Each structure stands twice: as structure tokens, then as C-alpha cells.
């Protein structure tokens, strides 16, 4: 099995787990990745290691990797966030937040509102000035999942069938962390599903207005909802494909069929009367013309 996996991937690339500094979502990225988009908050996040060799006045220095400040490096920022830690031999001004270790070299200095890290290593001669919180409180996986679930719930429309999706989301909290990590990625999918369920009902409602036959539309709506509930675990594309043909063609077939028949009858009658008139006129002209010729 392992051999097959290796063959499937062509070659085993080194991967690493990274936590988004915006929402706390865990990502699995390649070791060579420099930046990516968080699947949780859909924001661009930097994954690469950052080395600061000179003066850097910015608002935020944020990366999931390691921030290294060299002897001549100096950061003047509001916030310095890193995933893997901070190694400083120069100076940092600003709030430092990292779940990793912070190393302050012998000639380094830090000054800011707060420094939050897992561990702090201070060499002799280093200067610190600010509120230090070591070790930092790591966000629990369950807390992150709850945040993510809240975001998902905001997106969901008020649908009675949505309760099933919520239950599906709440289940992983009680499961072990390893299971949660694997199941955090598919969580955005239920939102798509719930939105997909709302679409067919809306289209059916529009058709209700246009068509006078309510029974047919109601039946179509019921069939659409029942199909949506049964097809919940499927992907968005599958569901939309499955629902649309059930609603549209049936509505068209039931509603549009009687209308063309009546219209066709009317148009046929009109064309028949017109044809009769034209044939009468032509016959009259033809009858008149030969009489003139005969007279001549």
C-alpha cells in the first residue's frame, strides 16, 4: 500500500503543518510553499521564513514561518506575528505574538505592548521592555472548530433541513484531535450544500408566480426538497444537476404544454381565415382579368 501511495504522488515531498495567523486553522502545506490561501478564512497567508537585515518600518510582520532579525535588522511594527517563532539579534519594536519560541540575543532589544510566546530565551545583555506572557495559551482545536462552525452557521440560510448540517458539524468536537484535523477541511462544504438546497426552492417559487397551476409546483417543490435531503452528502455539482432536471422539465412539460396547444389553435384559425381571404381576393382578381382580355 505504501509503495502505491509513493507511486501515486510521484515522489514524497516534505510537508509541514502550519496554523493560520488570522483564524487559527491548521493547514498542511509543502515545505517549499512560500504563501498560500487559508481554507478557513480565505485570506492570503505567508508561510515562508522571513529574515530582516535592515530597518523595516511596517504595520504588521506576519508569517507562519520563522522571523529572524539580524544584528543590523530592526523592526518597527505594530504587530509581529510568526508561527514558528522569533529569533532576534537586532531590535524589535511592537507587539510580538508567536506560539513558538522567542530568542533574544545578547545585543538584542525588544520593546512593545506585549510579548506572547511559548518559551522565551533571553541572553545576557538583551533588553526587554513590555508585558511578557510566557507561555502563551495555545488555542484548542475544539475552540477553532467552534469558531469555524459559527462562521459556517452565519452563511447558512434559515432552512429547516440545515439542522442536519449543524449536527454534522458539531459531531467532530467530541472526537479525538487526530480525527478533527482530518475533518476540518470538508467543513466548508455543508454551506455550499445548504445554499444549493435553497436554490431549487427559489426557482420553483418563481415558477409558481408565472404559472397558475399550484399543485404541480408544490409537487415539484416537495420532490426537490426530498431529493436535496437524500442527496446531502453529495457534492454541490451533483446536487444541482440532480435537482434542476427534476423541477424545470416537469414544470415546463406540465405548464407549457396546454398553452401552445391553445395558441396554436388560435393561430391556425387566424391563418386559415387569412388564407381564405387571400384566396377569395386572388380568385376574384383572376376572374376579373380574363374578362377584360376577352373584351379587348
CB of 118 to another protein, least distance (A): 9
Task: Answer yes or no whether residue 226 interacts with another protein by CB under 8 A.
Answer: no
Q: Which helix (H) or strand (E) holds 4?
A: helix 2-8
Binding residues for another protein restricted to 105-134, rule: CB under 8 A: 109, 115, 119-134
Distance CA 55, CA 167 (A): 51
Cβ nearer to another protein, comparing 125 with 157: 125
Cβ nearer to another protein, comparing 58 with 126: 126
CB of 64 to another protein, least distance (A): 22
> For the purposes of burial, counting CB atoms within 10 Å of the CB of 180, is it exposed (0-12), middle (13-18) or buried (19 or more)?
middle
Task: Kindly tell me which residue out of 101, 195, 219, 223 binds another protein, with binding defined by CB under 8 A.
Answer: 101
CB of 206 to another protein, least distance (A): 59
> For the purposes of burial, counting CB atoms within 10 Å of the CB of 171, is it exposed (0-12), middle (13-18) or buried (19 or more)?
exposed
Half-sphere exposure of 251 toward its Cβ, with a 13 Å CA cutoff? 28
The count of residues interacting with another protein (CB under 8 A) is 20
CB atoms within 10 A of CB 236: 14
CB of 52 to another protein, least distance (A): 21
Cβ nearer to another protein, comparing 130 with 188: 130
Cell of 266: 388560435
3-state SS assignment for residue 32: coil
Binding residues for another protein restricted to 130-189, rule: CB under 8 A: 130-135
Under DSSP, the state recorded for 139 is P
CB of 140 to another protein, least distance (A): 18
3-state SS assignment for residue 178: helix
Binding residues for another protein restricted to 33-92, rule: CB under 8 A: none
Name the residues that contact another protein, by CB under 8 A: 101, 109, 115, 119-135
Amino acid at each position: 500500500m505504501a509503495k502505491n501511495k509513493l507511486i501515486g504522488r510521484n515522489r514524497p515531498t516534505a510537508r509541514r503543518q502550519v496554523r493560520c495567523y488570522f483564524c487559527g486553522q491548521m493547514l498542511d502545506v509543502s515545505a517549499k510553499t512560500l504563501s498560500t490561501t487559508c481554507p478557513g478564512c480565505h485570506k492570503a497567508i505567508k508561510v515562508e521564513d522571513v529574515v530582516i537585515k535592515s530597518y523595516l518600518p511596517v504595520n504588521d510582520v506576519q508569517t507562519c514561518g520563522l522571523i529572524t532579525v539580524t544584528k543590523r535588522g530592526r523592526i518597527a511594527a505594530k504587530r509581529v506575528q510568526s508561527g514558528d517563532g522569533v529569533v532576534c539579534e537586532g531590535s524589535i519594536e511592537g507587539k510580538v505574538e508567536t506560539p513558538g519560541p522567542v530568542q533574544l540575543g545578547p545585543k538584542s532589544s525588544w520593546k512593545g505592548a506585549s510579548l506572547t510566546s511559548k518559551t522565551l530565551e533571553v541572553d545576557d545583555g538583551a533588553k526587554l521592555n513590555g508585558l511578557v506572557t510566557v507561555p502563551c495559551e495555545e488555542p484548542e482545536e475544539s475552540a477553532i472548530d467552534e469558531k469555524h462552525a459559527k462562521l459556517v452557521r452565519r452563511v447558512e440560510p434559515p432552512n429547516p433541513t440545515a439542522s442536519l448540517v449543524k449536527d454534522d458539524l458539531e459531531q467532530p468536537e467530541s472526537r479525538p484531535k487526530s480525527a478533527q484535523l482530518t475533518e476540518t477541511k470538508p467543513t466548508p462544504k455543508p454551506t455550499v450544500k445548504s445554499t444549493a438546497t435553497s436554490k431549487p426552492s427559489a426557482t420553483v417559487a418563481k415558477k409558481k408566480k408565472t404559472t397558475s397551476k399550484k399543485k404541480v409546483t408544490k409537487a415539484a417543490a416537495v420532490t426537490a426538497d426530498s431529493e436535496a435531503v437524500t442527496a446531502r452528502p453529495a457534492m454541490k455539482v451533483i446536487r444541482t444537476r440532480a435537482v434542476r432536471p427534476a423541477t424545470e422539465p416537469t414544470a415546463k412539460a406540465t405548464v407549457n404544454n396546454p398553452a401552445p396547444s391553445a395558441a396554436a389553435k388560435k393561430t391556425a384559425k387566424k391563418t386559415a381565415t387569412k388564407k381564405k381571404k387571400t384566396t377569395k381576393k386572388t380568385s376574384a382578381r383572376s376572374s376579373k382579368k380574363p374578362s377584360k382580355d376577352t373584351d379587348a
